[in-house]
Amino acid sequence: MQADLLFLKQDMDFVCQGLTQAAKKKTTRPARSTRGQSLPKAAGERDTPGMFPARSHGRHVRSDDINALEGVVAQTNQRVSEMGAQLEALKNAGIQRDLAIVQAASTTFVRWGRSTCPNSTQLVYTGGVGGAYWDQTGSSNSVLCLPNNPVHGHSFARPSEYVSELYGAEWNTHAYNQDPVCSVCLTQGRSASVMIPATTVCPGGWALDYNGYLMGSYPIDPVGHDFVCMDTAMEHRPGSEGSDHGLRLFYTYTHCGRLPCPPYTDNTLVACVVCSK
């Protein structure tokens, strides 16, 4: 499309040059002398009926072709206008397509410690936090959001003691032994989600989903697990005050040394934030 417009522009330039040259030929006709004598002509120059006098090396444009050239210019202008409109329509279509792609994008994140999702997001499911038992060496270090309404697949007898085991989680905080809840949330119109430790704000251009505290395993536990960002407004499963152990969650504090202080401060509770874009 752009190449066609370029060719049309070149055609217009050529036609306009012809019109300009024709006009110059018409206005620069040799004047007659006061004695009725013609001005001397250059060697080889002659007049041709219906054409402006011109040097033999110049381009001749017939005076009766000017109207035809003007018609060509008008047609070319119209064609350029049409192709410009088509190009603009293609650009608008591309913008609409890109907008539709952005609107169709989505991402999910886990809101640890809450059974609901933030505003402008959609609840996928709610559940409780689970993982490996805190002192079983060799267990997985993943922290899971287990749905409240599990659907069991095909079951068979436990073959032996050589299996992996899944437990619930407990807080080892001011809400001692209580079982934290969680929710999985869907964000429309965004394609990325990130948990950022040691901050309470999101980078520029990112939307805040929730603020929290970084929680992890106890340093001397035989089995460690991933850090999670637990919502500042924590919820627990009702009736879960008993000590059943399982996966244990502790607040995380800074420890200077390998951790540069400043900018960090020793023995400070680590905040966190979940952001999407």
Entry pTM = 0.59
pLDDT score of 236: 82
Cα separation values, 151 from 72, 129, 147, 167, Å: 76, 17, 9, 17
Does a cis peptide bond (omega within 30 degrees of 0) precede residue 263? yes
pLDDT tens, residue by residue, 56-99: 445 555 555 666 666 777 777 777 887 788 777 777 776 666 55
Interhelix angle for 66-104 vs 2-27, to 10°?
Answer: 160
Burial class (CB in 10 A: 0-12, 13-18, 19+), 11: middle
* One-letter identity of residue 81: S
Span of 162-171, 199-208, 235-244 with lowest mean pLDDT: 235-244
**Gap between the Cα atoms of 17 and 8, Å rounded:** 14
157-162 average pLDDT score:
72
* One-letter identity of residue 124: V
pLDDT tens, residue by residue, 226-236: 899 999 998 88
**Gap between the Cα atoms of 21 and 72, Å rounded:** 16
pLDDT score of 52: 44
